[in-house]
Amino acid sequence: MDSFTARGVILHSREYKEKDRLVSFLTSDRGLITVLAKGSAKLGSRNAYVSVPFMVCDFVITSSHGFYYLKDGSIVENNSSIMGNLEALTVASHFADCLNDASLQSDNSREAYELAVYAFYCLAQDTAHYRLICAAFNWRLLTILGFTVNYGVAPEDRSQYCVSMSDGRITRADGLGKAAASSPVLNGVSLRLLDYFASCPLNRLFVVKTSDRVTDEVFGFSVQYLSLHFDKEYTVLSVLNDIGGVND
C-alpha cells in the first residue's frame, strides 16, 4: 500500500461499524480527505484522539484501492477550549460545515486550510468574541471563493447603506422608500470592516475589535450572505439566539 503524510484540521468524525471511525479533515495541498481510522473507537486506542473535531493533527495515511486508512498520527494543536464553551462549539461546528460545503479546488484549498487553522485556534483562545470571529471567517471564506466585492467606503463615512445580496452594490439608505426596505442595511463602519476581513493579512484577521452594534451587523449579514451564495440555510444565528448567546 502507498503511504503519505499530511497535516490537517479535523472537521468531522463519526462512528463507522463497531470500532472504527470515519474522519474528514482539511489539508493545504490535498483539500478535503476522508480517512478510515480502524479500531479508533476501541477503549484505549492510540488513535482515539480522532474522535475530537477542530484539532490540527499530523497524519500518516495509507492508500489502498482508492480508500484512505489512518496508520498513525499526532496532535499539533488541540483547540480544547472550544469544547467547553457552548457558543464557541456552535460556531466551530458552523466553520466545519462551511468548509465541508465549500467545494474547494486545488487553487484555493491552501488558503481555506490556513483560514481554518487560524479560525479554530483564535476561537479556542478567545471564546468570548465568537460572533466577530465567526463574521471574519464567513467573509474571508466567501472572499477566497470569489463571492465578495470591495465596498470602498471612505474612512469618515458613517452613513447607512442598503446592500445588494446578489452583486454587492450599495445604495445610501437615507430617504429610500419601501422598495429597498427588504435589503440588508449596514453602517459605513460595518462595510469597512468587511473590506478589512476580505484583504487583511491572515494573521491579523481575528485580532480586530469593534462595538457590539457593528459586531451584530457584520455577524448577521455574513451569515445571511453565506446562506445565499452557498444555497444553504446556515442556522448558526438562530441557534445562538436560542441559547441566548447573541445577547450576551
Using DSSP's 3-state secondary structure scheme, residue 181 falls into coil
CB atoms within 10 A of CB 4: 12
Q: Which residue has the cell 493579512?
A: 201
CATH class, range 81-242: mainly alpha
CB atoms within 10 A of CB 214: 18
2-77 CATH fold: OB fold (Dihydrolipoamide Acetyltransferase, E2P) (2.40.50)
Predicted pLDDT of residue 176? 52
pTM of the model as a whole: 0.91
Half-sphere exposure of 47 toward its Cβ, with a 13 Å CA cutoff? Answer: 23
**Domain ranges, ordered by start, for the chain:** 2-77, 81-242
Predicted pLDDT of residue 183? 78
Residues in CB range of 75: below 8 A, 6 or more apart: 49, 55, 56, 57
CA-nearest of 173, 167, 218, 229 to 195 is 218
Per-residue model confidence as pLDDT tens for the chain (248 residues): 688 999 999 999 998 888 999 999 999 988 999 999 998 988 888 889 999 999 999 999 999 888 999 999 999 999 999 999 999 999 999 999 999 999 777 778 999 999 999 999 999 999 999 999 999 999 999 999 999 999 999 888 889 999 988 888 888 887 554 434 457 899 999 999 999 999 999 999 999 999 999 999 999 999 999 999 999 999 887 877 776 544 44
> How far apart, in whole angstroms, are the C-alpha atoms of residue 37 and residue 74?
13
Predicted pLDDT of residue 175? 55
Tell me whether residue 43 is exposed, middle or buried, using C-beta atoms within 10 angstroms of its C-beta: 0 to 12, 13 to 18, 19 or more: exposed
Instruction: State the amino acid at position 4 in one-letter form.
Output: F
